[in-house]
Amino acid sequence: MADAPASQALFDRALAVIPGGVNSPVRAFRSVGGTPRFMVSGTGPRITDADGREYVDLVGSWGPMILGHAHPDVRAAVDTAVSRGLSFGTPGEGEVALAEEIVRRVDPVERVRLVSSGTEATMSAMRLARGFTGRSKVVKFAGCYHGHVDALLASAGSGIATFALPDSAGVTAATTAEVIVLPYNDLDAVRAAFAAHPGEIAAVITEAAAANMGVVPPLPGFNAGLAEITHADGALLITDEVMTGFRASRAGMWGLDGAQEGWRPDLMTFGKVIGGGLPVGAFGGRADIMAHLAPEGPVYQAGTLSGNPIATAAGLATLRGCTDEIYAHLDATARTVGELVAAALTQAGVPNRLQRAGTLFSVFFTDAAVTDYDLARTQSTAAFAAFFHSMLRDGVYLPPSAFEAWFVSAAHDDAALERIEAALPAAARAAAAV
C-alpha cells in the first residue's frame, strides 16, 4: 500500500512466517482493511510507525500504557531490574511489592497470585472456582471477552466479535457443555440459569464493565445482583478487571461500583496496567478461596516466568505512578475525547452513541443505547472503517475494530487533543459518506 510502504514490506515478511502476519488477530486490520502499521517507537501519547509517521495513540497497547509510552519512571525501574538479571525462577521482592500494591488498592483482594497474561488469570480463576466449590458449570455473558481460554470463547467479544465468529473452532463440545452463555445486563436470565441448575454452577464470570464489545457499562445494580444471586446459591462471582483494573479508577471498576453499592466479588482477575507494558496478569480475592491453590491447597497453578522481576518492576512503577491526579486527568481526557468524537459525528449526521465506564470509553456507530452484545452488533462497521482510516491518515491511531474500547493515557496533553480534534471533521464526513 502506497501510504505505508515500510509497514507493508514488514507485513509481507510477516505473512510468510506468522499466521495472518500477526500474533494477535485484531492487529491485522482485517475488519477495517488496509495495511497494519508496524510501530517502532513511542513516547508519551505518540507512537511512530516504520514509515516514520507519527500518531496520537488511542490504543495504548490495549490498556497497559496508562502513563504513556516510555514513561521515565517505568523505564528507570525496568533498567534497574534488568541490570540485576532477567529471571531467577525463585521468589523475589518485586512480586511481593506488586502483590501488596494490588491488595492495598482493591479491598476484595486479600491474596493474589501473579501470572503472565489476562488469559492465564481468568483460566486459573475459573479452575480455582471449580476446585473450591466442587461444581463444574460456569456462567459467562455474550460479548464479554476473558482471553482465549477454551471454555470462555463462546460468544466472546474482542477479536471474536471483530471477526463475527460464533466462537472458536477447536473448542470441544464437552468443554462448552459446562458453560452457560447469557445476555449481558440481564439478571432475570441469571436467575433462570440458577433455577435450572441449582447447586451446579461454580461461578459467574463477568467483565466488571464490559469493554470488549465496545464499552457497555453494567446497568445500575447488575453487578450487585450477580453477587446476590451467586452467593444465595453458594456459587462464586468472578469479576474480570483485566481491562478496567487500575484504569476505571484507582481501585478499578470495583472502586466505582462495588465500593459504592456494597457488594464484593469472590475472585477478581487483572492484567494490562499491572504489567505496565510487560506480560503480567493476576487473580486474587478471598483468602479462604486463594488458600485452595497449590502449594497450600489442591488446585494446581504455576508459571516459569510468573512474578518475573522485570515485569513486576514495570507494573509496580506504573501502579505507583497512577495517583489520584492521574485518574482525574484520565477521566477528564476520556470525557473530552469522547465528547469531541460524538459531536463531530453528530454534526456530520452519523448515528453515534458514546458510552463510558470510568475512564474507559468507546463510540458505537449506531443510535441505540447499547446494553448488550445484540445491540452492539447493530452498529455500522463500514462507517467505523471509513472513520478509522481517515483518522489514521490524519495521524490518530484508533483501535482497528468497532468492537474495542478506546484508551487515553496520563500523557495525552492539549497538543494530542488538538491533533485529534483537527482530524475529526474529515473522518466524520468519511463515515457519513458510507
Q: Which CB sits closer to ligand PMP, 400 or 416?
A: 400
145 is catalytic: yes
Q: Is 123 helix (H, G, I), strand (E, B) or coil?
A: helix
Q: Which CB sits closer to ligand PMP, 402 or 428?
A: 402
- For the segment 151-190, give every residue that binds ligand PMP (CB under 6 A): 158
Binding mask 18-57 toward ligand PMP (x if CB under 6 A, else -) reads ----------------------------------------
Asked if 245 touches ligand PMP (CB under 6 A), the answer is: no
Minimum Å distance from CB 152 to ligand PMP?
A: 9
The burial class, CB within 10 Å (0-12 / 13-18 / 19+), for 296 is: exposed
Q: Which CB sits closer to ligand PMP, 108 or 383?
A: 108
Among the listed residues 49, 233, 240, 257, the single catalytic one is 240
184 is catalytic: no
Q: Is 116 helix (H, G, I), strand (E, B) or coil?
A: coil
Any idea which residue has 459504592 for its cell?
Answer: 260
Asked if 276 touches ligand PMP (CB under 6 A), the answer is: no
Cα 258 to the chain's mean position, in Å?
19
- For the segment 60-79, give every residue that binds ligand PMP (CB under 6 A): 62
Which of 114-122, 159-167, 221-229, 373-381 is the region at the interface with ligand PMP (rule: CB under 6 A)?
Answer: 114-122
In whole angstroms, give the CA distance from residue 18 to residue 177: 32
Amino acid at 49: D
Show the CA angle centred on residue 309, arms to residues 406 and 100, nearest 5°.
75
- Say if residues 246 and 322 touch (Cβ distance below 8 Å): yes
* Residue nearest ligand PMP by beta-carbon distance: 118
Show the CA angle centred on residue 209, arms to residues 205 and 215, nearest 5°.
125
Binding mask 195-214 toward ligand PMP (x if CB under 6 A, else -) reads ------------x----x--
The x, y and z cell numbers of residue 123, run together, are 483460566
413 is catalytic: no
Q: Is 422 helix (H, G, I), strand (E, B) or coil?
A: helix
The burial class, CB within 10 Å (0-12 / 13-18 / 19+), for 17 is: exposed
Which of 66-74, 87-95, 117-125, 340-348 is the region at the interface with ligand PMP (rule: CB under 6 A)?
Answer: 117-125
3-state helix, strand, coil in the chain (%, to 5): 45, 15, 40
Residue selected from 240, 257, 266, 372 as contacting ligand PMP according to rule CB under 6 A: 240
Among the listed residues 55, 145, 373, 397, the single catalytic one is 145
Asked if 242 touches ligand PMP (CB under 6 A), the answer is: yes
Asked if 233 touches ligand PMP (CB under 6 A), the answer is: no
- Say if residues 265 and 228 touch (Cβ distance below 8 Å): no
Count of C-beta atoms within a 10 Å radius of residue 409 = 27
Minimum Å distance from CB 130 to ligand PMP?
A: 18
Asked if 145 touches ligand PMP (CB under 6 A), the answer is: yes
User: What secondary structure letter does DSSP report for 293?
Assistant: B
Q: Which CB sits closer to ligand PMP, 25 or 68?
A: 25
Q: Which CB sits closer to ligand PMP, 119 or 133?
A: 119
Which of 64-72, 113-121, 216-224, 286-294 is the region at the interface with ligand PMP (rule: CB under 6 A)?
Answer: 113-121
User: What secondary structure letter does DSSP report for 175?
Assistant: H
Strands (E), 79-136: 111-115
Among the listed residues 257, 272, 372, 373, the single catalytic one is 272
Minimum Å distance from CB 423 to ligand PMP?
A: 25
Kind and range of the H or E element at 110?
Answer: none
The x, y and z cell numbers of residue 87, run together, are 529471571
Positions marked catalytic: 145, 240, 272
Q: Where does this chain bind ligand PMP (CB under 6 A)? A: 62, 117-119, 122, 145-147, 158, 207, 212, 240, 242-243, 271, 281
